[in-house]
Chains A and B, each alone.
Chain A
Amino acid sequence: MSAETDFDPDVMGMDHTTVTGWGRTAPTGAWLIRPRTYEEAAAAVRGCGARGGIPRGLGRAYGDAAQNAGGSVLDMTALDRVHAIDADGGTVLCDAGVSLHRLMEVLLPLGWFVPVTPGTRYVTVGGAIGADIHGKNHHVSGSFARHVLALELLTADGEIRTVIPGTPLFDATAGGMGLTGVILTATIRLQPVETSLMSVDTERATDLDDLMARLAATDHRYRYSVAWIDLLARGAATGRAVLTRGDHAPLDALPARLRRDPLAFRTSRLPATPAILPEGLLSRTTVGLFNELWYRKAPRTRTGRLQRISGFFHPLDGVPHWNRVYGRGGFVQYQFVVGHGREDALRRIVRRISERRCPSFLAVLKRFGEADPGWLSFPVPGWTLALDIPAGLPGLGAFLDELDEEVAAAGGRVYLAKDARLRPELLAAMYPRLDDFRELRAELDPRGVFVSDLARRLSL
């Protein structure tokens, strides 16, 4: 077949390949382009054929947000320069293809940390803004875009615009899933830290009510807060959990041995998960055993434990390609939020998931703070639950559809960066600013240059 784009494949490093998200479901074919300069990126955008293009970072979006069937996918990871660090004022100007991992390597020795990090360091700055990611500190710090002071956006006309907070284009781009244009650079406000270690408190909650009470009563005392839930526990133990909360350790909390190099950024990586694993490795039995162990191994209460940043924020980054444990069929991640006052909906959903016996070993509950202005930004004040489920679980699609109904009825929403299966009809109810988003896109990109499988599937 012939390319619908008009550049020379050899010059642009174009490859036809199949692309999936981190969940490894729904592969589609696309032309992969890897621009090495802003000019090449602009040429790629101008040269997009009838099926358009979409920027992609490190491919950690679970669903189809960074896929574009039959069109172009712009791998932005070659544009990865850190341009300027203001070590006094605490800001950094960098390319959108820079990973949070790289930023941590560069910034931590200077006493600065990224303002928001999700459960992996291997996301790019562009992706972090496009998905308006959140972290364990959302109740204190909000989402990523709150800390962006300015960004440069390559729009559908091939022009580069400077976009600042408080403008419609910024609010459409923050959480806009790459559909307003290609983010080239960003200026980010940083978080000062005295050490590269975390001071962590751990406690167990015996059931969901206990967990929610503990979170509601004490979350404000911690910068970072998260709860792992055992969704296979049933009956009186439904929703039993381990709370892990903490803050950056101050210098005087470190033992003398660590005080010599308090800002060292240490990570470790285990061997990668093998490419081929048997289907059904994660059954109810194996996950049930894992959950039992994980719950029992957590201390009832423990305070002030020192932990590395990698262990506290990114435990799974130590296992490259961990997404392979779900086998060839891949997995879906389901993350939703319901507002404060809708705890009834959360309880119902947790009970249904427990009764359904979904083998999920990565179920996480946290409380969101104030929302940010991104039109398609996910967080709203309330409770958010995220879980991984093998895509091959029989009847899963219909079951998640039912949960969506509950979420929408409670005024909540699901997270687009993780979605691969939402019924399009529910989107407008979940995201009330959807029409504004569509209108701005129609004006900014009348030819529909920027498009993704997610955009096609949900008519964004």
Chain B
Amino acid sequence: MKDAFGLPQSLLVLGGTSEIALATARRLIARRTRTVWLAGRPSPALEEAAGQLRGLGADVHTVAFDALDPGSHEAVLGKVFAEGDVDMVLLAFGLLGDQARDEREPEAAVRVAQTNYTGAVSAGLVCARSLQSQGHGSLVVMSSVAGERARRANFIYGSSKAGLDAFAQGLGDALHGTGVHVMVVRPGFVRTRMTAGLPEAPLATTPEAVASAVELGLRRRSETVWVPGTLRVVMAALRHLPRGVFRRLPV
């Protein structure tokens, strides 16, 4: 069960090698979390991540999970929920893709869209139903500022996150009053493997900062969390810029 501060005792991470997810898991293990399920494609990286979290004292299991295979989600995730209550699901898988290549190769673009959006819709709904029948739990969805307004530089990734973001908001409304809490996290540019080599955007942040914002959001039962928080204001302004002006911005 979560405690008075919304901190979970058990955590299911979808996207078990995500740096943001692992930073969040480390932070939660230092608080209350004792059981962690790391779901992802079987790989040495997934096992290594599990080993690291075990070193912090948690009971960690890995689960073979493929966002691109929605047909398997029900069975794979159902097994995790059958083991006991999951107090928090962290939906953190996602592909950034390579915008230039993806524009040339529609199939690669579809892979980004299917992972980030279709896979999340499937996994999100499967988890939501289990959370609803256990009457509690937080579903934390990693969205992105990129989904707030599509930019020339990464609109394929951005549009997939826009879809995910809208889905998660609607799911949060659907689950309102059931005891289940859905929280959409919108980080800006986060310094991780995913963004290595990319020119850094203003207000860049770290996985640890996202983790700390997630913990605060859990305590406040927030529905939306921006990281850093100032992005809320910045994006509110950018969202309303005329297209012609937005297009010319160096962002």
Minimal Cβ-Cβ distance residue in B for A332 = B4
Chain B interface SS verdict (over half)? loop
Residues of B contacting A81 in the complex (Cβ-Cβ under 8 angstroms): none
Measured in the bound complex, the distance between the Cα atoms of B220 and A329 in whole Å is 6
User: Within 8 Å of chain A (Cβ to Cβ): is B192?
Assistant: no
Measured in the bound complex, the distance between the Cα atoms of B9 and A332 in whole Å is 18
Measured in the bound complex, the distance between the Cα atoms of B31 and A23 in whole Å is 21
Do A26 and B134 have beta carbons less than 8 Å apart?
no
Do A457 and B9 have beta carbons less than 8 Å apart?
yes
Knowing A392-B220, A396-B5, say if A1 contacts B132 (CB, 8 Å): yes
User: Within 8 Å of chain B (Cβ to Cβ): is A5?
Assistant: no
Residues of B contacting A16 in the complex (Cβ-Cβ under 8 angstroms): 178
Do A70 and B134 have beta carbons less than 8 Å apart?
yes
Residues of B contacting A424 in the complex (Cβ-Cβ under 8 angstroms): 9
User: A-contacting residues of B (Cβ < 8 Å)?
Assistant: 1-7, 9, 31-32, 85, 129, 132-136, 177-180, 219-220
Do B5 and A397 have beta carbons less than 8 Å apart?
yes
29 chain-A/chain-B pairs, Cβ below 8 angstroms: A1-B178, A18-B177, A19-B179, A23-B4, A25-B5, A27-B136, A29-B136, A29-B178, A29-B179, A29-B180, A30-B135, A64-B1, A69-B1, A69-B134, A71-B135, A332-B4, A391-B4, A391-B5, A392-B219, A396-B5, A397-B3, A397-B4, A420-B4, A421-B3, A421-B4, A421-B5, A453-B1, A453-B136, A456-B1
Q: Which of A373-428 contact B (CB under 8 A)?
A: 391-392, 396-398, 420-421, 423-424
CB of B3, distance to nearest CB on chain A (Å): 4
B-facing mask of A218-248, CB < 8 A → 1, else 0? 0000000000000000000000000000000
Residues of B contacting A102 in the complex (Cβ-Cβ under 8 angstroms): none
Do B3 and A29 have beta carbons less than 8 Å apart?
no
Residues of B contacting A19 in the complex (Cβ-Cβ under 8 angstroms): 179
User: B-contacting residues of A (Cβ < 8 Å)?
Assistant: 1, 4, 16-19, 23, 25-30, 51, 63-64, 68-71, 329-330, 332, 391-392, 396-398, 420-421, 423-424, 453, 456-457
CB of A443, distance to nearest CB on chain B (Å): 22
Residues of A contacting B134 in the complex (Cβ-Cβ under 8 angstroms): 51, 69-70
CB of B147, distance to nearest CB on chain A (Å): 27
CB of B228, distance to nearest CB on chain A (Å): 17
Chain A interface SS verdict (over half)? loop
Knowing A18-B178, A329-B220, say if A29 contacts B132 (CB, 8 Å): yes
Do A25 and B136 have beta carbons less than 8 Å apart?
no
Most chain B CB neighbours (cut-off 10 Å) among A16, A397, A423: A397
Most chain A CB neighbours (cut-off 10 Å) among B2, B9, B32, B134: B2
Measured in the bound complex, the distance between the Cα atoms of B136 and A16 in whole Å is 13
Measured in the bound complex, the distance between the Cα atoms of B178 and A19 in whole Å is 10
Knowing A18-B178, A30-B179, say if A70 contacts B5 (CB, 8 Å): no
Most chain B CB neighbours (cut-off 10 Å) among A23, A71, A392, A456: A456
Measured in the bound complex, the distance between the Cα atoms of B133 and A29 in whole Å is 9
Most chain B CB neighbours (cut-off 10 Å) among A1, A69, A71: A69
Measured in the bound complex, the distance between the Cα atoms of B1 and A420 in whole Å is 10
Residues of B contacting A453 in the complex (Cβ-Cβ under 8 angstroms): 1, 136
Most chain A CB neighbours (cut-off 10 Å) among B5, B133, B135, B177: B135
Residues of B contacting A396 in the complex (Cβ-Cβ under 8 angstroms): 5
Measured in the bound complex, the distance between the Cα atoms of B1 and A351 in whole Å is 31
Knowing A4-B133, A28-B135, say if A457 contacts B178 (CB, 8 Å): no
CB of B45, distance to nearest CB on chain A (Å): 31
CB of B129, distance to nearest CB on chain A (Å): 8
Residues of A contacting B3 in the complex (Cβ-Cβ under 8 angstroms): 26, 397, 420-421, 457
Most chain A CB neighbours (cut-off 10 Å) among B129, B136, B219: B136
Measured in the bound complex, the distance between the Cα atoms of B133 and A179 in whole Å is 22
Residues of A contacting B6 in the complex (Cβ-Cβ under 8 angstroms): 25-26
Measured in the bound complex, the distance between the Cα atoms of B3 and A23 in whole Å is 12
Measured in the bound complex, the distance between the Cα atoms of B177 and A16 in whole Å is 9
